[in-house]
Structure 1
């Protein structure tokens, strides 16, 4: 039955609703509003019901004062006749209306807002982050980015809830206290107003300092998480190369910085606690003395004394709560501001406003005077490349490390945008087509094969969702991967295609990962194929076995292959030799060996000349 009550409220927010794919605002208020405006009716309902519930709570103090005055001024036999209607209204307000309002507020807040609202923020933040360019992820810790996506969403929710709670209680309680005190005797308001002034000055003094300390603390925590995740993600390198004390010092430094930042904040909080406590004692004593004096003068009733005492005590209890809320508020604001720096960065590689889907018929690729550099001060990584690859032609890219081969592939895939010139596929400028459609028509096997921590089935079918098990197994057989897949078993007992491969595929050998990657591309069957050191992780026997599969994969496709092991691409239709971002030689294997240039020297080294020279 309770689930039936909860479910409609849990569906008030659809976190995965369609939304504009815009860069989040970089300003704090604008950033929060960009998400709040999507759910503002629910938030307004929470505020409205909360206001009514808080007013009902305040009425308890008023009713206590009224009951005391009624009992001290009425005869027992006439009590019900004279005040029965008053007692019934009190009963209905406190016993019926107040619980119902609290129930509705809790359902709207806890079931409607608290759970789903952060999911909405995380989902939209993730969709923005995952569309960032490769350079965005190269310049930050993956763990740090993930931490900010998760923490910022919670901080936005907590900030809004804290603001609404604090606003409701401050406005309702303080305005009610002033009104009721004025109604009894205007002089009762004097201690409260003095206290409010001092409390406001205290907030004005400490809140900005708390805000800065909270932001710095949040940044320190994100940096700490980034270092921890960096160590855990690269645990094999850490174990093989790092001096344990050096690695511990690296993490310890971040922990010490994080501790110092939070100590600054806690010192401020302690100062606030002490000063607020002194102010509270002064308010309590001054209100009590004044109320008793006014009663002795006949200016107020006993009920008014009870009202003043109870309401003052409630305000004093709230003052500590409010200070805690303010502290929490600025911790969350610091987290949001820190998260905005990462989440609200605009995309560097974007689809053109009128981008259309790429249509590949023949598969001709043309690099038209292409330039690219990674930064204004850097030398050009690609310097005026002019290259046409005919439909179905297979070319090999060759050159020393740093020649620009992988960079040329990266701009072809639009992982970076060119800084000059253009790249065309069947006459279509890739800068004017959607990135998703571009990459859907290109299959790629990279040198550093990193698999998703999912099942073998999911990894192979990643480029072609919905493929049947029979198609997945056939692709695995063609990639010479089926020989080991049936024997795989993970720590949860899942086996074969259901076995999970671990983060980045660490449970598999390099050769096994490479064969899974090749199976994935075989299944995708895209018309353009890019091989970046595709067989580098395979031993000679497996490489020889898979060559036939690669030749089958390349049949009828336009192929760009990069390899340092020249024997693997010597049979390509044409070889393109690069150095320092330029094309310096083109031709078949035989032509380039005969020409005696860079390719001939590289070939001589790999076929014995280099070893002979060393000897």
Structure 2
């Protein structure tokens, strides 16, 4: 399976590249979401600045002189709050059609591709697992859109804006916030990609197997009953559930330890920022309002940093849940239309096998070797033979569900390998 080759950073690249391709087809919506959410976030960045000015105005001995400054700071805070509210609403309103249209397109494309994968692929894949991969990937995309555009993007905007704003006034404070945030983000990304992701990938594989076992057992219940195999299916499901339980427990415990580590890092960062603010006050480089500004800024940054850990974990889970769907997109068709293929127009229905050789993948002995058959138009032919002699394969080759190894098959003189499969199968039907 292609999925077996997708690990770590490669899986992230494949899934995120897939998501970017979806965004490119919806650029106006994506641009609207980005502009609105960045604008609302910048309002959050400037809010602590005016909170600090308000504190300075309120702490001034001459209340009459400071009244104007206080009212101006208050009006700025109220205005920024309204801007944040309005722009966030616009961003969330725009992300709804963006996500719904993307989910619809991804589900449709996934189904389209699965329908056209080779007969061998379907024979070796559980239908229930395939359905689970497509549906889980579709819903994971909804979470990735929200997390990347509405949560991670504003979080990074706040961090960058705060670092610049504080750094312009106190370079040491900008350095503390910048370096602390980079260390925190680096450790969080490492935990998500190197610790949680491998475990989550395995638990998702067993989740797909569990879904496939349930779906196929229920779908084939008549056969199960016919053989009195209910107890066997119960035991089989119990084994799968046991494996799924162990894999999922490991994943969830890694997430739990990761969250604890993130909160410990935030505690260290908070101590460093508050300590720097006190040092600036002791040295006379900051007023009480400045300290209030720094503390308010920290609470804003803390909220975004704390949530960044959760957002990165959600991105990691979304990537793990989408990688099976992305792997389906890269799965080769097996039998595909050749370049320049044209539609088949059957006029008479004359069928010829010309020196056809064919063997299934993995079989050394050909099923057919130099087979030549001519069935004139209008003739009715019955194929008789023992099981496995190639009766069904004969018709499947006519439909080009498989490509012949040698020779060719012609309908009304046209080689079926040079016509579109849709037109070929529109003329030839199998009722199994």
**Contact 2:354 / 2:373 at 8 angstroms: preserved in 1?**
yes
Give the RMSD, CA atoms, in angstroms: 2.4
Unaligned runs of at least 5 residues, structure 1:
1-25, 447-615
1:113 corresponds to 2:98: yes
Q: CA deviation at 1:51?
A: 0.6
Going by fraction, where is helix more abundant, 1 or 2? 2
Give the Å deviation of 1:302.
1.1
Other structure's SS at 2:381 match: strand
**Higher mean Cα deviation, 377-386 or 189-198?**
189-198
Q: Which whole-Å CA distance do the structure 1 matches of 2:72 and 2:302 have between them?
A: 33
1:508 paired residue number: none
Secondary structure of 1:73's counterpart equals coil
Deviation for aligned residue 1:84: 5.5
Q: Does 1:254 align with 2:240?
A: yes
Q: Secondary structure at the match of 1:409?
A: helix
Which of residues 119, 124, 134 is equivalent to 1:134? Answer: 119
- My pick for the range that moved more, 285-294 or 116-125, is 285-294
Q: 1:41 aligns with which of 10, 18, 28?
A: 28
CA distance in 2, matches of 1:200, 1:311: 18
- Residue of structure 1 in register with 2:156 after alignment: 171
Quote the Cα distance in structure 1 between the aligned partners of 2:429 and 2:128.
Answer: 28
Q: Give the CA deviation at 1:29.
A: 4.2
Q: CA deviation at 1:50?
A: 0.9
Equivalent-residue separation in structure 2 for 1:234 and 1:126 (angstroms): 22
1:242 CA displacement = 4.7
* Equivalent residue in structure 2 for 1:363, among 349, 355, 364: 349
The answer to whether the Cα contact below 8 Å between 2:99 and 2:145 also exists between their aligned partners in 1 is no
TM-score, with structure 1 as normaliser: 0.64
On the 8 A contact 1:148/1:339 being kept in 2, the answer is yes
Contact 2:110 2:325 in 1 (8 A): no
Deviation at 1:269? 1.7
Give 1:80 shift: 5.3
Q: Is the 8 A contact 2:350 2:377 kept in 1?
A: yes
> Residue 312 of structure 2 corresponds to which residue in structure 1?
326
For residue 248 of structure 2, give the secondary structure of its aligned residue in structure 1: helix
Corresponding position: 1:124 with 2:76:
no
| 1:93 counterpart (76, 80, 85) | 80
1:67 equivalent to 2:93? Answer: no
Partner residue, 1:510 = none
2:159 is paired with a residue whose SS is helix
Larger radius of gyration: 1
Give the C-alpha shift of residue 100 in structure 1.
2.1
Matches within 5 A, 1:562-573: none
State how far apart, in whole Å, the 1-side matches of 2:151 and 2:86 are.
21
Show structure 2 runs of 5+ residues with no match.
1-12
Give the distance between the partners of 2:187 and 2:430, measured in 1 at CA. 62
With over 3 angstroms needed to count, the CA separation of the structure-2 counterparts of 1:89 and 1:308, relative to structure 1, is: closer
Query: What is the CA deviation profile of residues 466-505 of structure 1, one whole-angstrom value per residue up to 9, with x for unaligned ones?
Result: xxxxxxxxxxxxxxxxxxxxxxxxxxxxxxxxxxxxxxxx
Give the C-alpha shift of residue 183 in structure 1: 4.3
State the TM-score, normalizing by the size of structure 2.
0.89
Is contact 1:370-1:422 (8 Å) kept? yes
Match of 1:388 in 2: 374
What is the DSSP-based 3-state SS (H/G/I as helix, E as strand, rest coil) of the residue aligned with 2:116? coil
Q: Deviations over 1:125-173 (max 9, x none)?
A: 2112211222221110111111111222332343343233454233222
Report the count of equivalent residues. 419
Question: Cα 1:58–1:274, aligned 2, differ >3 Å: closer, same or farther?
Answer: same
Aligned to 2:44: 57
For residues 415-426 of structure 1, the aligned pairs below 5 Å read 415-426=401-412
Q: Distance in 1 between matches of 2:231 and 2:115?
A: 35
Could you tell me how far apart the structure 2 residues matched to 1:29 and 1:81 are? 50
Partners of 2:128 and 2:240 in 1: how far apart? 14
**TM-fit CA distance, 1:411:** 0.6
CA contact 1:53–1:101 (8 Å) conserved in 2 = yes
Q: Per-residue deviation at 1:101? A: 1.1
For residues 442 and 301 of structure 1, the distance between their equivalents in structure 2, rounded to whole angstroms, comes to 85
For residue 338 of structure 2, give the secondary structure of its aligned residue in structure 1.
Answer: coil
User: 1:215 touches 1:338 (CA, 8 Å); kept in 2?
Assistant: no
Alignment partners' CA distance in 1, 2:179 and 2:347: 80
* 3-state SS in 2 of match to 1:32: helix
What are the superposed Cα offsets for residues 278-318 of structure 1, whole Å, 9 maximum, x if unpaired?
22223333433442343243221111111222222232333
